[in-house]
Structure 1
């Protein structure tokens, strides 16, 4: 395809593609870039923000100011439980060593295993799996 031409493979998003083409005519300059799915976290966050905004019918929308942080939010927002360990410690320990905290019941072990199914451990970082196969 040449520049300015694009296609949709999924019929479910065809109406969105048509709307995007109509909206493009309202801008003096616009640029689209293809982003691979595994690098799409920022775009996903922007779509969530955009879905919460009431767009005026006027021809001007103030630009959105975005600043990227040097460190991930999870580094500054983790709360520590009364035992001095973070809330996810049992899940992380189970994923690392298939081990449980001392003194828990079989029901609690089952809960840890069930909760661990929703998480993915990559080196030292624990990610939560999402329904659309993304990681938080």
Structure 2
């Protein structure tokens, strides 16, 4: 996940923004139990209600993180000092490099198929079961196989790999409208 904050922010606000992105991503991937490891003492203790939130700009962040936490069956926040964050936990979580991009959002507009199915239906079906549309000709099958190389499934969610190794979530028109709103 790559993001760039396009407003004036403090370090603490950036920590909350990163936490929110991570929680949303975990929720989108249908994660039910989550261990959040962070080196922001302030964020960890404020979210758990152990420390008072004095900065009025941070209150909405704390409330939103707590709201997102309710989407998980089990969620635990654990503080780890910065020095240990990379060393001690590297053996039980994969490291994650976050790179800030100038253009954090990428959309590809694709017209809806006339049959009412999402544009990615054939690719998703091929990845799920290895099957093609019923009347697909050999060149259509080849195209689906070729296109499927740039996609992967995580649970029920289809993602497209980008040339810079990012991931785009594939959405149908209804979900696109919901996300835009």
TM-score by length of 1: 0.47
Normalized per residue, the structure richer in strand is 2
| Structure possessing the higher relative contact order (Cα contacts under 8 Å, 6 or more residues apart) | 2
The structure number with the bigger radius of gyration is: 1
TM-score by length of 2: 0.36
